[in-house]
Amino acid sequence: MADRVTIVEVAARAGVAISSVSSALNDRPGVSDRTRARIKQAADDLGFVPSVRGRSLSAKRAFAVGLVVHRDPFVLESDPFFGSFIGGLESVLDPRGYALILQMGTAADETLDRYRRLAAGRRVDGVVLNELAVDDPRVPLVQQLGLPAVGVNPAPGFPLPAVRQDVSAGVRELVEHLVSLGHRRFAHVAGPSRFVHAVHRVEAWREALIASDRDPGLVVEADFTYEGGRRAAVDLLGRSDRPTAVFCANDLAAIGFMTEADRLGVRVPEEISVAGFDGIELGGYVRPALTTMTTSPRLLGAEAARLLLAAVEGGGAAAGGASVGDGAEVGAGVDVVAATGGGGTEIEPARLLVRASTGAVPG
């Protein structure tokens, strides 16, 4: 690999000290405009790009953040969330000179170990905590490690900075939609209850139904997979008092549910209405097209990156309060910092997208 040009050569060409080059190129004061221009010119001529290796050692920063995906590879395959989420992270990290280090853990404890090693080797300046579990062990871990971290859609009282996207408003819209269609018997195909986001969705659903004076009905726990949705359909559709409207915790499960309903000869939406959550592309193509809640993984990623960089660059403590996003996006007048403890941003809520899989109650 050809030897790259270093700061020394730039200094030589500009006829200044390397410290001046450093100051000039990082737009720090202490350099006259004339010299600064001359230095920038020299750097340009030479095609100088500072070595992140030297920079990290000296600046005590890795200029990288980590994301550990803890996931059965089988499930990851069809997960629509990550592509956009990572794209969102990247869109903020890259312009600010940070790289994203992606790791995959399979077993839960292995995942924890990944964080430990990332911190121990000073590989990253902070990490993103995604798919939070109830009492997620990663939270005390990063706190103990002193590793800056941000959460994505955490539970209330989460002690670190976090990005949230509200689900309750969208779920209320869904419930109103279903109620207005005359439905009375409801069911929910939930995600694993150990996940915070699964819990959020069940709770929003129950609360919205209760607020509408409806019986929340059954909750069947599935696992966010297509196959899980199918099994839930077998269960629910076999019941004598089967529901007329089903809300699945994600689109993949909803599509699995619809497929199985079709197989069992139960027509959607004539005999049963089905709604999903996520707003994945596929939902627009299946027959009938899936009614769902559109989320913003890309925006979640971008905001998560912003918060993380704020925590990293401004202080560094894991529990340190990150700056709150611009007020325009903060929901319903809630003081996000006070409400959550760790500070954070709330992005636009998930919205209901009505398509063909929900319709009037049968009969």
Residues that bind DNA (CB under 7 A): 3-4, 6-8, 15-20, 22-23, 25-26, 28-32, 34-36, 48-51, 53-55, 57-60
Distance CA 347, CA 162 (A): 11
Give min distance, CB of 351 to DNA, in A: 43
Interface map 134-173 toward a copy of itself (x if CB under 8 A): -----------xxxx-------------------------
Q: Is 196 in the site for a copy of itself (CB under 8 A)?
A: no
Q: Where does this chain touch a copy of itself (CB under 8 A) — which range of 192-200, 212-220, 224-232, 348-356?
A: 224-232
Q: 59-97: b or e for each residue (b if 16 or more CB lie within 10 Å)? A: eebbbbbbbbbbbeeeeeeebbbbebbbebbbebbeeee
The alpha carbon of residue 338 and the mean position of all alpha carbons in its chain are separated, in whole angstroms, by 22
Give the orientation angle of helix 18-25 with respect to helix 33-46, to 10 degrees: 90
Residues from 274 through 293 that contact a copy of itself (CB under 8 A):
280-282, 285-287
Nearer to DNA, 55 or 177 (CB): 55
The alpha carbon of residue 32 and the mean position of all alpha carbons in its chain are separated, in whole angstroms, by 44
As to burial, measured by CB atoms within 10 angstroms (0-12 exposed, 13-18 middle, 19+ buried), residue 207 is middle
Give min distance, CB of 314 to DNA, in A: 14
Residue 147's binding partner out of DNA, a copy of itself, none, with CB under 5 to 8 Å set by partner kind: a copy of itself
Distance CA 334, CA 250 (A): 27
Residue 281's binding partner out of DNA, a copy of itself, none, with CB under 5 to 8 Å set by partner kind: a copy of itself
**Residue 173, CA distances (Å) to 46, 56, 198, 351 in order:** 59, 49, 18, 8
Residue 23's binding partner out of a copy of itself, DNA, none, with CB under 5 to 8 Å set by partner kind: DNA
What letter would DSSP give residue 195?
A: B
Please give the backbone phi and psi of residue 69, each rounded to the nearest 5 degrees, phi first: -90, 120
Q: Residue 42 contacts by C-beta under 8 Å, 6 or more apart in sequence?
A: 10, 13, 14, 48
Q: Is 52 in the site for a copy of itself (CB under 8 A)?
A: yes
Q: Which two tokens stand for residue 58?
A: 């000296």
Interface map 24-43 toward a copy of itself (x if CB under 8 A): --------------------
Residues in contact with a copy of itself by the rule CB under 8 A: 1-2, 4, 47, 49-54, 56-57, 62, 64, 71, 73-74, 76-80, 82-84, 86-87, 90-91, 94, 99-104, 114, 117, 120-123, 145-148, 226-227, 230, 256, 259, 262-263, 280-282, 285-287, 298, 316-317
